[in-house]
Amino acid sequence: MPSSSTSVPERYSRQLLFPGIGESGQERLSAAHVALVGCGATGAAAAGLLARAGIGTLTLIDRDFVEESNLQRQVLFDEADARDALPKAEAARRKIALFNSDVTVHAHVADLTPGNIHQLLAGAAIILDATDNFETRYLVNDYAVEQGKPWIYSAAVAAYAVSMNIIPGETACLACIFPEPPSGTVETCDTAGILNTAVNFAASIAVTEALKFLTSSQARAGSQLPAGPGLPLTMRRTLLSCDLWNNERSEVSAATPDPACEVCAARNFRHLRGEGRPHITLCGRNSVQIHEHHRPVDLAALEARLRPHGQVRFNQLLLRFTRGEHTLTVFADGRAIVQGTTDAALARSLYARFIGS
């Protein structure tokens, strides 16, 4: 570390040597506030990287708890966390405190919804997506565009990783590229598996792009960062996808907003208003019903996907999937009843993991 610096710890000395950051960039990082939506595989990796890079404040939001099957890829957790079924956001907070106690971590064991998103994401300069479902991603996209706040879309499943920077007013938003969420069932880590290398690849790209942004003068929107040299041209303006197993890569331009986009052009924030969000109700004793009526499900294909993961029975009208203490009854129109819980957040999580959302 340069001898003239007394404000930056020795731990960042190698990062200070990197010209893209330097001493002034490190000072901006230490003043930065980043929000991570999701603390599973991608989220845990991203949280660890951000904390080790010296981000001053992290907001971690996750509705799930640690399980043994997470340990193959969720790098902040250990066997004790799984044994205690510790909420992922809190487990991540505790682990970060062990290797960088200077980072302020706000851990929220919560399901991000239209009702709490403004409160939970307030103050963050940038939002990183580490969720497991498109429902939450479109909600984050609405919020970010409304607030003029940048966010980074990331996903990983099987050997596939994808990432896109979204800077409202400058780049395409998620709805520009994907006007509607995918229909029917989609592959998830619980049905298609996942390589931990794909997770770390997606997280590394997202965090690198976030560091570029946070060391620039564009790092505004909820932060009090000092002015930097300007938005770096090295920030990617594409939707990047890579299949690490088959050595395939593609990029789709996201350099400019779509003038016909419902969200960033028309500023119609229907996800933020809660429109189209599956309604959740308690359904009898120890059951939750997810009222998803506009998502046709191929029950035979779903049965084949779920067979390795639990007990499955189905007919032309419905499918019943039992795993542990929970049973999901899925109807052909996408509606589902989750038995074994009255927790709406847990019901959403199970639906996202096994049906896709």
Q: What is the DSSP letter of 38?
A: -
User: pLDDT digits over 82-93, tens only?
Assistant: 988 889 999 999
Q: What is the DSSP letter of 291?
A: E
Strands in 336-339's sheet, in edge-to-edge order, are: 279-282, 287-291, 336-339, 326-331, 318-323, 311-314
Instruction: Please list the pLDDT of the chain residue by residue as tens digits (357 residues).
Output: 334 444 567 899 999 999 999 999 999 999 999 999 999 999 999 999 999 999 999 999 998 888 888 899 999 999 999 988 889 999 999 999 999 999 999 999 888 889 999 999 999 999 999 998 888 999 999 999 999 999 999 999 999 999 999 999 999 999 999 998 876 667 778 778 899 999 999 999 999 999 999 998 555 544 433 444 445 678 999 999 999 999 999 999 999 999 999 999 999 999 999 886 767 767 667 888 887 656 778 889 889 989 988 999 988 778 889 999 999 988 888 888 898 888 888 888 888 888 876
Rounded distance between C-alpha atoms, residue 230 and residue 216, angstroms: 5
Query: Which of 204, 236, 211 lies closest to 26 in space, CA to CA?
Result: 211
* H-helix or E-strand spanning residue 189: helix 189-192
Of the CA atoms within 13 Å of residue 119, those in its CB half-sphere come to 8
Rounded distance between C-alpha atoms, residue 348 and residue 278, angstroms: 9
Q: Does domain 31-253 have CATH number 3.40.470.10?
A: no
User: pLDDT digits over 32-49, tens only?
Assistant: 999 999 999 999 999 999
At a CB cut-off of 8 Å and minimum separation 6, what does 283 contact?
289, 337
* H-helix or E-strand spanning residue 356: none
Give the sign of the dihedral formed by CA 17, CA 23, CA 25, CA 26.
positive
Give the sign of the dihedral formed by CA 121, CA 124, CA 126, CA 128.
negative
Would you kindly state where each structural domain of the chain is located, as residue ranges?
31-253, 279-354
Rounded distance between C-alpha atoms, residue 145 and residue 262, angstroms: 11
**In Å, how far are 189, 250, 325 from 287, measured between CA atoms?**
24, 43, 12
Beta-bridge mates of residue 249: 242
Strand pairing category for 248-253 and 238-243: antiparallel
Relative orientation angle of helices 41-53 and 196-214, to the nearest 10 degrees: 40
User: pLDDT digits over 206-242, tens only?
Assistant: 999 999 999 985 555 444 334 444 456 789 999 999 9
Establish whether domains 31-253 and 279-354 are of one fold: no
The hierarchical CATH code for the domain 279-354 is 3.30.310
Tell whether pTM > 0.85. Answer: no
Q: Is 261 a catalytic residue?
A: no
Residue of 176, 189, 261, 264 marked catalytic:
189
**3-state SS, residue 205:** helix
The confidence score (pLDDT) of residue 284 equals 63
Residue type present at position 48: G
